[in-house]
Amino acid sequence: MTRQDRIAALKAAAKARILILDGSWGVMIQRRGLDEADYRGDRFTHHDGQLKGNNDLLCITRPDIIADLHDQYFAAGADISETNTFSATAIAQADYEMQAAVRDINLRGAQIAREAADRWTAKEPHKPRFVAGSIGPLNRMLSMSSDVNDPGARTVTYDQVYAAYREQVQALHEGGVDLFLIETITDTLNCKAAVKAIMDLEDEGYEPLPIWISGTITDRSGRTLSGQTVEAFWNSVRHAKPFAIGLNCALGADLMRPYIAELARVADTLVAAYPNAGLPNAFGQYDEEPHQTACMLEEWAQSGIVNILGGCCGTTPDHIKHIAEDVKGLKPRAIPERPTALRLAGLEPFELAD
C-alpha cells in the first residue's frame, strides 16, 4: 500500500468500527529488566552520564525489543501502534545530553513500527495496521511560570518548542508514519506549537498526514495542567481539523468517563480515549486487571461516546486484547453536526451562536 492508500484505509476503518490503539510502552520495557549496557549499545558506549531510563533511545540500541512490542500489540488486536518516540525531542533529550541523536531516534522508531505494521497487514490483509508517530509532552511549559515569584518566567521560548517539534515530526514523517499523535498534553500552547510544526511540513513538500490530539485531565478538577476545561481545550485546537481528539493518561477509565462524554458532545470529529489501568497504588504500580479495564471501556462503546480505544500507563497487550474483544462488533460513535457558532477558549469555553 502507498501512504495515501493507508490513510484512506484508516479513515474507512474508523467509519466501520471502533479502532484499537496499543497500550503502555513504559511498563512493558520495565518488565525487560534492561541495564545500562542495553541503553548504550555500541553507539553510545562512551557517552557521559547515565542513559538507563531513556526508553526512546532503545529504537537505536535495542530495536529488537521495540519491534517485539509492536508485534505483541498488533497480535493482541491493535489497529494502530505508536512509535517509541514519546520523549524524542531535543528539549526532552537534553536531560540525557542526547540532543544529537533526536533525528535518528525518530527516524528509526518510525521505520521499526512501519516494518511491523506492514508485516501484520501482509499477514492479515482484511485488518490493515497503522503507525502513529508519538509526540509527547515536554518537560518545560509555555503556559506556566517556572518561578512562583515571577509569573512571566519561562525556561523555554515558543520558537524553541516549535523547533524541537519540527525536528521530530520531519523525521517521523520520513520514517513512514501514517498519522501524528500529539499526546498526553498538559500545556495547550506547547500542543499548538506541535500542531503548527506539523502543518508547516506541507510548505516543504511533505504530504499532509492526519493529526490526532490527546489531552490529559490531571485530576478531578476536570482541567488540563495549564487550566483548561475539556471544551475549552477542544476550542483551542479544533482549527487543526484533527482526525481525532481525545484524552489519555493521569486517570483510570472510571474517572475519565465524564470528560470523554463531554468531548463526545462537543467535538465534530472522532473521539479517542486511552486511560490508565486505574490509579497507581502506593508503590506506583497499576492493579486494574485487563477484564476490569475492558468492561468499563465496553460500556463507553455501548453508550456511543468513542471511536478509538486503547490503554495508557499500566496497560499491557492483555489489556488491549480484552478491550478489542469486548468492543468487537459495537458501532463507533456517530460524529455530530454542530451548528455554526463563534467558539473561543481561555480557561473556559465561550460560544456565540449566529
Q: Is 313 annotated as a binding residue?
A: yes
User: d(Cα 309, Cα 256) in Å, to the nearest integer?
Assistant: 13
User: d(Cα 293, Cα 324) in Å, to the nearest integer?
Assistant: 11
What's the gap between Cα 217 and its chain centre?
14
- 96-103 long-range contacts, CB within 8 A, separation 24+: 96/49, 96/50, 96/51, 96/54, 96/57, 97/47, 97/48, 97/49, 98/47, 98/51, 98/54, 98/57, 101/44, 101/57, 101/60, 102/167, 102/168, 102/171, 103/167, 103/170, 103/171
The residues facing 143 across adjacent strands are none
Backbone torsion region of residue 67, taken as left when φ is above 0, otherwise alpha when ψ lies between -120 and 50, otherwise beta: alpha
- The DSSP-derived string for 312-353 is -TT--HHHHHHHHHHHTTPPPPPPP-PPPEEEEESSSEEEEE
81 in helix, strand or coil? strand
Quick one: the chain helix, strand, coil %, rounded to 5?
45, 15, 40
CA dihedral over 236, 219, 139, 286, signed as positive or negative: negative
77 in helix, strand or coil? coil
User: d(Cα 330, Cα 19) in Å, to the nearest integer?
Assistant: 11
21 in helix, strand or coil? strand
* Cβ atoms < 10 Å from Cβ of 189: 15
Q: Is 249 annotated as a binding residue?
A: yes
- Taking a C-beta distance cutoff of 8 angstroms, is the pair 311, 284 a contact? no
Q: Residue ranges for the binding site for Zn(2+)?
A: 249, 312-313
Q: Residue ranges for the binding site?
A: 249, 312-313
